[in-house]
Amino acid sequence: MFACLVQQFRFLFVTHDEGLSVIDITDIEKAFVVADNTIEMKEAHNVFVARTYAYVAAGKEGLIIVDIEDPTSMKVYETFTDNIVDARDVVVATTNASLMGYVADGEAGLKVIQLTAPDSQPRFYGFSPEPKPETIAHYTTKKPVISLPIYVEEAKIIFIEFAFIILFYVIFYLNKNITLTKADYFMLPIVGYGLFRSNNFAAVSALVIFTIIFVFNTKINNPKYRKLLFRSMIFSSATLAIFYVMSFNFMLFR
């Protein structure tokens, strides 16, 4: 029975009753399990794939770090058990110059594992430096921790959104052909949100074109029409944002 499945490029990394295996999906209609390529584990729960390493929450066996530089020939890099009681889930994320592993350790709460840092791994700025795991913190919880959210993919997007929203504020503030109301300033963040969060390429392209026309086309000097165009952009962005949120919630709760 499968416990967790993660895709990276042409391969799926799957945890199951026997451990960690790889499925080759180069040809999706002829996908196959790579033979003689299972890392045996008694209790493989969730797996987190980060570049050339897979981190498996392996219950009482600890955190098993697997070298997946060649996905067709995996090998155990290290079995980390320091202060790990019952690893159920793991999430890897970068904090400043350090790579951290956050482990849901069942009854033992939340554990923070430092994987790379300037003092432990001189090559910490490399593409995929070798992990040097050490437990640096823990948090005791009232109930068992069995799962963790994934924020690593969201962090960079959030920073980009804020930067883009600030840019929009500056552009519209410097544009003397339109006077924005308080409502316009309140709705402005939706423009950036819609642009960066939507998966609809055509809609995003249309918004970019509208933005260029709105900002740079000096022929649209009538404040009435400029405000109408601006509010049309807001409406389009809000629609895209709502669509994205609904789609995300569907994927999350299906």
* SS (HEC) of 102-171: EEECECCCEEEEEEECCCCCCCCCCCCCCCCCEEEEEECCCCCECCCCCCHHHHHHHHHHHHHHHHHHHH
pTM (two decimals): 0.63
One-letter amino acid at 66 equals V
Tell me the pLDDT tens digit for each residue of 237-248. 555 555 555 544
Tell me the pLDDT tens digit for each residue of 56-89. 999 999 999 999 999 999 999 999 999 999 999 9
Where exactly does CATH 2.40.128.630 map onto the chain?
4-149
Q: How far apart are CA 189 and CA 72, in angstroms?
A: 45
Q: How far apart are CA 211 and CA 208, in angstroms?
A: 5
135, β-bridge pairs:
113
Q: What is the overall mean pLDDT for the chain?
A: 76
Neighbouring residues of 184: CB distance < 8 A, sequence distance ≥ 6? 230, 231, 234
CB atoms within 10 A of CB 148: 17
For the domain with range 4-149, which CATH number is right: 1.10.3720.10, 3.40.50.300, 2.40.128.630, 3.60.15.10? 2.40.128.630
